[in-house]
Structure 1
Amino acid sequence: MRYADPWPAPRARGPVEATVSLPGSKSLTNRALVLAALADGPSVVRRALRSRDTSLMATALTALGAHVDDSGDDWPVTPGAFDRDATVDCGLAGTVLRFVPPVASLSTGSVAFDGDPHMRNRPVGEVLSALRGLGVTIDDEGRGALPFTVRGSGAVPGGQVVIDASASSQFVSALLLAGARYDKGVDVLHDGKPVPSTPHIEMTVAMLRRHGVEVDDGEPNRWQVAPGVVRALDTAIEPDLSNAAPFLALAAVTGGSVTVRDWPESTTQPGDELRELLARMGCAVERTADGLRVGGPDRLQGIDADLHDVGELTPVVAALCALAESPSVLRGIAHIRGHETDRLAALARELGGLGADVAETEDGLAFRPASLHGGLFHTYADHRMAHAGVVVGAAVDDVLVEDVATTSKTYPGFPDAWSALL
């Protein structure tokens, strides 16, 4: 569906009272697809997220020789022989950029990777260097970035590799997901600043274990995957809790009440941290029979928070900080400069353009209370930036969000769902 560009963000005229159902988790869907493609038999990924990122993953794995049927709500996956030359379009999907090359290394063909223009700036060199250290031939003309070609020989020797995963936890997950299929497995050691978004590595490890893969993560900054079979397994995908952020924020900025259905009792998704963050900002947070309910406060409070492990929540949390009545500091998130866009610079620029008193720091953002006004909010083809823009627009008149359709990356139809609540 085409939307007006720029898109007039709907303004809330009173407390929003709503219950929402979210599509499935992108992180879980794409990990489940990779493991199903590597498994010892057919699997089904149930309630898979249908979005650009997951469609790119399904297409990439099918190009390698597996088969992903994404025609329904549940996606059957049949492993196949990785025995052909192929081309993989990464789009703007970090999971495709990082997770598929270790799988392509098992092919007997040459697999060429490229993506959207901005994707050539996203870091992947550590994964490529690690694969070379594990015995894989990769042609990238020394760029350590797209475009590159993986030239497989049908098997990967595997073994121990040292990487610096301080730019992205996906570097670790990428090697772990395919590691059981390598002759010696894989033993990944991280050497560098702390790894960001470690809940995503915990998610990867948990999913591997459910597929019968032996993983030893008992030593800090080291993950060992034993060689062996990846057992076929039907997987039900949880709702995407990071996509809950703008909806729960709607309760926070309007003083209303929003319930997200089917919030899991326990989860490895970083989005679960929203419960604590919103409570610290003055919201009432409770589990109900329907899911997770957030009630907005009379006055939204600022927060001092280290978001190192949950960097993907930063745009919406930053929007809330810009609207809060007391100062805020968001720290530990220097790594999100390498996401879909430089999110720190983009947030400082766009929120500042709407009147926010915001400063970019070495590893985050600092806010002081200010009165916001309308204006154009650029998204830089980044779905999380669009989420931040619409949250501000719910509380401030005349906010225009450029390229709101970029939200289809993880939530097709988001603008319609958002408008329906307002």
Structure 2
Amino acid sequence: MQVKETQNEGLKRGYTFTLPAAELAAKVDEKLKEAQPEVEMKGFRKGKVPMALLKKQFGPRVLGDAMQEAVDGALRDHLESTGDRPAVQPKIEMENGENWKEGDDVVVNVAYEALPAIPETDLSGIEIERLVVKAEDKAVDEALANLAENAQNFEDRRKGSKAQSGDQVVIDFKGMVDGEAFEGGTAENYPLVLGSGSFIPGFEDQLVGAKAGENVDVKVTFPAEYGAAHLAGKDAIFETTVKEVKAPKKAEIDDELAKKFGAEDLASLKAQITERLEAEYQGASRQVLKRALLDKLDGLYSFDLPEALVEIESGQIAHQLYHEEHPDDHGHNHGEIEPTDEHKKLAERRVRLGLVLAEIGQKAEVTVSDQEMTQAVLRQARQYPGQERAFFEFIQQNQQAQQQLRAPIFEDKVIDHIVEGAKVTDKEVSKEDLEKAVEALDEL
């Protein structure tokens, strides 16, 4: 295979690969000879089919395979010898493809953008600030109060009291559509919190003001998009008997409340809340630290970027932002979305930082373990209840999906590696200051 350079400008590379006809013919003959001992054909014993007949019968297919193998092998050898790493799949075009005939040389044009060389940079001098927030007693008390509210009990109201929004009513009901009861529309001793929105719109409102022992005909219309198609949009009457009216009562913040949430006593529950709050603060603090570190890295590195990667990334950014701005548009029939200069600028930053982190991670021998991947798959699978098996199979069979899960894990491990070698100063701040710092991330 003869290789001739046709372009070497910046990161763009172009080459012409020429496979002489004689060399191609020799490869075809070699493949046919390898296959000849196993070929069976009517009128000939196994392995005795003449080469001329083999070439006539299988030559075109073998010719195509030989061409492909020759070009793939030449490109592989070329990349190994030059050290080039294409940013995206190389573009390969055969000259005179439609007019090519057996006996002609095979001439292929190969074009790609090479990944840039990442300059060596000393990262040990990076100085960065880490925000630290301690869980204050006030925050712990607020969390306890929320738990107590969620764990509220209900006590019987005084006899003859009217039900109020927020009360719990214990009811028997029987649903009727067109005068006939329907499946799933009947229950006894059902505890319903008025105002919870757990029943069909309008149902709970009609029980406000009812008393224990009263019968109420609740008239509602099922929503047009109701899950049961035979009920969607239908008018219904629920013959309802109010058996009890109970007022909400917050649970006491004591050892009994702690036991309801799996703690031994109130002190243990407070310790668990403190630990959870500080873990949340640490997660938020890491977001701020990561952005600050990426800003530092972005200022430290400067090199040419592959146009193809920037174009792909800017297109993805434009598409993502379009759907964020048009949440009701779930399809992809919106036509082409032209990236703006702002999208391109953000894409350049992402591509640059992605290449930098990949280079740092490779040199530091950062890897993603099978256990880390399994945990990532399990976390993702929880978003598809009842379809976990199908999700696992999809991930196993889809390399791109695996890479999408692996990439953020790899990036976080590289960030940790850089932070370990940097000069990090802890700064204790309030919860409010941390929240402002996190909110500022969305403004950049």
The bucket for the TM-score relative to the shorter chain is: under 0.3
Richer in helix (by share): 2
TM-score by length of 1: 0.23
TM-score w.r.t. the length of structure 2 is 0.22
**Structure whose CA Rg is larger:** 2
